[in-house]
């Protein structure tokens, strides 16, 4: 009996110490892991936030690029880290897609992570080669229905957002086309420009110059609003094609056991950093729509989006070992 009282006292003291530490958070620099190499959109966005976030926290935010395994290596490093808010993940929608795409993940996205905030979203455009005899999304759908399997679409690889976006479109429009995977979005875009594939889902900024020179045609864009960078490109929804919910997303995540008080500090920090004028300006140039919602809203998005992408992945039979 006496022994159990001693144990109880020790546990209470440990809890008190942990609570005191979380109230004083942060007391040292933070490590923000990006599960990709430097230079990609995820890395660029996170580095835009590095300076204002460091100033707001009065602690240095140190960015660490840990690429590999389709973002799994870096993501797992955060899952395995102490849940104290000093190891944070900045990533794209791979964290949501991989849950359904990879059956042997070393972590459970829904159980091992919690959201801090959704940082931004960016639409994808259905781009076609100029040789394709269609100038509107309606004409293109008719063309695909008249020629099932004749046309093909490129992607940055099996299970990437550009692949799943294509599968979403085929499913929503009830048409057929062959998928041609490439080792990254750059070779996929080059294949489209060269006419090796007939269509591809790409970002606004990378496609803009080719649209202006006539090297590509854009038929429709994801999302629920016209994009200011390409105001003449209609949304899929406005043309009656529902279910192409293939926007790219970026967010901040921490271990699921991170205290609410710490998550609250991180949420306030990154939401405020998103309003920094330099961040807003550069994000607009990159075609990113900044979000900055609450941690609770982000958690709801995680569950919802995993289900949405999971349905497409399962129906298309997409698998990555």
**Tens digits of per-residue pLDDT, 41-66?**
889 999 999 999 999 999 999 999 99
Q: Tell whether the model's pLDDT for residue 1 goes beyond 60.
A: no
Give pLDDT, residue 6: 52
Task: Assess if CATH 3.40.190.150 describes domain 28-122+248-316.
Answer: yes
Q: Which residue has the higher pLDDT, 18 or 97?
A: 97
**Where in the sequence of the chain do the CATH 3.40.190.150 domains occur?**
28-122+248-316
- For residues 288 and 123, the answer to whether their CB atoms sit within 8 Å is no
Give pLDDT, residue 20: 46
**Where in the sequence of the chain do the CATH 3.40.190.10 domains occur?**
124-239
In angstroms and rounded to an integer, the radius of gyration of the C-alpha atoms of the chain is 22
pLDDT in tens, 100-147: 888 889 999 999 999 999 999 999 999 999 999 999 999 999 999 999
Question: Across the chain, what does the average pLDDT equal?
Answer: 90
d(CA 219, CA 183): 25
Tell whether omega for the bond before 26 is within 30 degrees of 0, i.e. cis: yes
d(CA 101, CA 112): 17
- For residues 279 and 286, the answer to whether their CB atoms sit within 8 Å is no
In this prediction, residues 213-240 reach a mean pLDDT of 92
pLDDT in tens, 272-295: 999 999 999 999 888 899 999 999
In this structure, what token pair is assigned to residue 71?
A: 């973002």
Best CATH choice for the domain 124-239 from the list 3.40.50.300, 3.40.640.10, 3.40.190.10, 1.20.1050.10:
3.40.190.10
pLDDT in tens, 160-171: 888 989 999 999
């Amino acid at each position: 009996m006496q022994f159990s009282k001693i144990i109880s006292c020790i546990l209470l003291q440990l809890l008190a110490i942990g609570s005191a530490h979380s109230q004083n958070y942060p007391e040292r620099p933070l490590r923000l892991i990006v599960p990709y190499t430097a230079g990609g959109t995820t890395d660029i966005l996170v580095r835009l936030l590095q300076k204002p976030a460091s100033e707001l926290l009065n602690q240095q935010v140190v960015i660490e690029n840990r690429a590999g395994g389709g973002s799994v290596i870096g993501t797992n490093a955060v899952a395995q880290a102490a849940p104290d808010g000093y190891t944070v993940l900045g990533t794209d929608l791979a964290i949501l897609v991989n849950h359904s795409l990879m059956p042997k993940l070393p972590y459970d996205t829904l159980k091992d992570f919690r959201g801090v905030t959704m940082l931004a979203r960016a639409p994808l455009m259905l781009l076609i080669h100029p040789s394709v005899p269609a100038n509107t999304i309606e004409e293109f759908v008719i063309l695909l229905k008249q020629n099932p399997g004749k046309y093909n679409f490129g992607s940055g690889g099996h299970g990437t957002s550009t692949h799943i976006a294509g599968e979403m479109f085929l499913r929503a429009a009830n048409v057929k086309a062959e998928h041609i995977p490439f080792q990254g979005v750059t070779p996929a875009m080059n294949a489209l420009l060269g006419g090796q594939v007939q269509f591809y889902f790409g970002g606004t900024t990378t496609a803009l110059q080719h649209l202006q020179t006539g090297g590509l045609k854009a038929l429709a864009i994801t999302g629920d609003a016209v994009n200011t960078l390409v105001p003449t490109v209609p949304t899929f929804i406005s043309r009656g094609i529902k279910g192409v919910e293939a926007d790219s997303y970026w967010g901040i995540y921490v271990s699921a056991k991170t205290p609410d008080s710490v998550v609250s500090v991180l949420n306030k920090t990154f939401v405020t950093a998103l309003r920094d004028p330099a961040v807003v300006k550069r994000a607009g140039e990159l075609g990113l729509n900044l979000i900055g919602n609450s941690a609770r809203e982000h958690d709801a998005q995680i569950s919802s989006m995993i289900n949405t992408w999971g349905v497409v992945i399962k129906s298309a039979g997409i698998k990555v070992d």
